[in-house]
Amino acid sequence: MVGERYEVEVGPVAHGGGHCVARHEGRVLFVRHALPGERVVALVTEGTTKSRFLRADAVEILEPAKDRITPPCPFSGPGKCGGCDWQHVSPGGQRKLKVQVLTEQLAKLAGLTPAEASWDGSIEPVGGKLPAGQVPAWRTRVQYAVDPETGKVGLRKHRSHEIQPIDRCLIAAEGVTELGIEGRDWPGVVSVEVIAASGSSDRQVVLTPAPGAQLPLVELDKPVSITRVDDQGNVHRVHGRSFVRERAAGRTWRISNGGFWQIHPEAPDTLVDAVLDGLDPQWGENALDLYCGVGLFAGALADRVGDDGAVLGIESAKQAVIDARHNLAALDNVRIECDRVETLLPRTGITATDLIVLDPPRAGAGRETVEHLVGLSARRIAYVACDPAALARDLAFFREGGYRPVSLRAFDLFPMTHHFECVAILEPVE
């Protein structure tokens, strides 16, 4: 089955993976490097005669869609780098595909039309619209894999441990590119993660050595801090700072040991603005910031609710909690606790609050957490989501609990990929 070629008509875009749905003799194919409405030759890359579906790449375009362009990146295409899903699609075409994905997930999992979700049906570009063929250099964090035979870096192929050697990643931010990672040898190293803060000149390289290997002497084109990851996943400072400094929402933020921070330089302020606009925090209100990371939303809420209000942040990553407490140390109205949201929140004794922000991991919050949140009778809830399916599923849970979306915005924070970010604002049904 793998290696066979089928001529197919390409159907709608599917959620996740940057693929579209096609059929051949009744069997579903998930086809990458294709676009809805095209006729292509699809090369099967995964699946057997017993598989419910097959995965494939479009290796020949017989009838192209109008949004198709020549991929600007030479490492994009069938069998090459798996990082960018839609280098072959115009910027406007990419947003249209994301609109289709979000529309489908809302309908299928939440039973909501765009109008019922209070969504205007657009994916908002961030950083201005781009002409076709121009690639925005937005990614401030890039994790390279190292070929053990050559010591050269590359990026993983789609659904594979194989490495595509590269000499430059087009979506990498200038701060990443300027270090010259691709031009160096990395003997004894498994991966090289580069972090280029957009809010400062801080640059950090996180190295994962092969078992028993010594770290190479690192000489890069710009000043940089070096950390390493041991066999247990712990991060250790080798040279320079163990953190980078970012600037957003009127503050400087410390993010240590490669911890989570939005990778598009405009994402933190974009999301904070959307959350604050939707919640409209008032002086003296109480708020929860769940899955709070290094405290971005907690800090923004604390400024709005003032000394008469209070914000409780909950985060399970210990280093992120340490950073959040450092970042917000000057705010007496903020408390940050370390534990899993679903474990700690019921133990806090909080029975009501005014506002809630939740920014869960890709899997979403889930029924149990949503049921607890709706019992707190919040005036408004802001749900920040990186996965439209998890968001739609949780919106259905919120609706069961008596909350409805009064605003939904979607932001194109990850151009050239299938990913996007959403902010939903929920209110109790009257």
The identity of residue 406, as a single letter, is: V
Q: Give the pLDDT confidence score for residue 255 in this predicted structure.
A: 97
- CATH 3.40.50.150 domain residues, the chain: 98-128+246-252+265-428
For the stretch 304-310, contacts whose Cβ atoms lie closer than 8 Å and that sit 24 or more positions apart, written own/partner, are 304/276, 305/281, 305/333, 305/355, 306/333, 307/332, 307/333, 308/283, 308/284, 309/281, 309/283, 309/284, 309/285, 309/333, 310/286, 310/334, 310/335
Q: Residue 264: count other Cβ atoms within 10 Å of its Cβ.
A: 23
Domain 5-65, what fold? OB fold (Dihydrolipoamide Acetyltransferase, E2P) (2.40.50)
- CATH 2.40.50.140 domain residues, the chain: 5-65
Q: Give the pLDDT confidence score for residue 205 in this predicted structure.
A: 96
Q: Closest Cα to residue 327, out of 258, 241, 242, 256? A: 256
Q: DSSP assignment, residue 259?
A: -
Told to judge if 386 belongs to the known catalytic residues of this protein, a careful annotator would answer yes
What is the CATH code of the structural domain delimited by 98-128+246-252+265-428? 3.40.50.150
Q: Residue 266: count other Cβ atoms within 10 Å of its Cβ.
A: 16
> By the 8 A CB rule, do 322 and 284 touch?
no
Q: Give the pLDDT confidence score for residue 214 in this predicted structure.
A: 85
Q: Give the pLDDT confidence score for residue 383 in this predicted structure.
A: 98
Residue 231 confidence (pLDDT) above 90: no
Length of the chain: 430
Listed in sequence order, the residues at least 6 apart from 343 whose beta carbon sits closer than 8 Å to its beta carbon are none
The identity of residue 221, as a single letter, is: D
- Binding-site members for S-adenosyl-L-methionine are 262, 291, 315, 359
pLDDT category of residue 407 using cuts at 50, 70 and 90? very high
The identity of residue 29, as a single letter, is: L
CATH classification of 141-245 is 2.40.50.1070, yes or no?
A: yes
pLDDT category of residue 220 using cuts at 50, 70 and 90? confident
- Binding-site members are 262, 291, 315, 359
Q: How distant, in Å, are the alpha carbons of 104, 387, 423 from that of 121?
A: 12, 17, 13
pTM of the model: 0.96
Candidates 20, 81, 386, 422; catalytic one: 386
